[in-house]
Amino acid sequence: FYYMLPAENRLTKDRDYEILFTEGKFAGSNFVTAKMWVIEPEKYPRRNYLKTDLKIGFLVSKKVDKRAVVRNRLKRQMREVVRLLLKDNKLKPGSMIAFMAKPEAKTAEYQDLETDILFILKRMRVLYD
């Protein structure tokens, strides 16, 4: 019953999001889109990125739903999918990923979100087979 990602896997800084959205590539599916950037430490030497970092963030905009309760539930569900993958060492290090819920996501079941996130991670080649 633990929703947080380990601190070293959290994408928290605005600057990190900025870099991710500038440099990253998009991948989408039915309920979730994601932006992913393979970390290049030499590009931003002052950020102290490592090739072994894996930073993940979750975004749910007010366009999805005005109610914070709904947005937070979506974030918790997406976070849980990723947390379990991290726990089982299913994710390759070396990238930053932001998952963004689409408006369709609020009617989705947990399983649908899980399927979508796995699909995106496979397409981005971040998932160990």
The span from the CA of 63 to the CA of 98, in Å, is 17
Residues 29-83 have pLDDT tens digits of 999 999 999 999 999 999 999 999 999 999 999 999 999 999 999 999 999 999 9
Query: 41, 51 in Cβ contact below 8 A?
Result: yes
Which residues are within 8 A (CB) of 75 and not within 5 positions of it... i.e. 6 or more apart? 58, 60, 101
What is the greatest pairwise CA distance in the chain? 42
C-beta of residue 71 within 8 angstroms of C-beta of residue 62: yes
pLDDT tens digits along 15-25: 999 999 999 99
* pLDDT range class, residue 2, cuts 50, 70, 90: low
105 or 128, which is more confident: 105
Task: Please tell me the predicted confidence (pLDDT) of residue 30.
Answer: 96
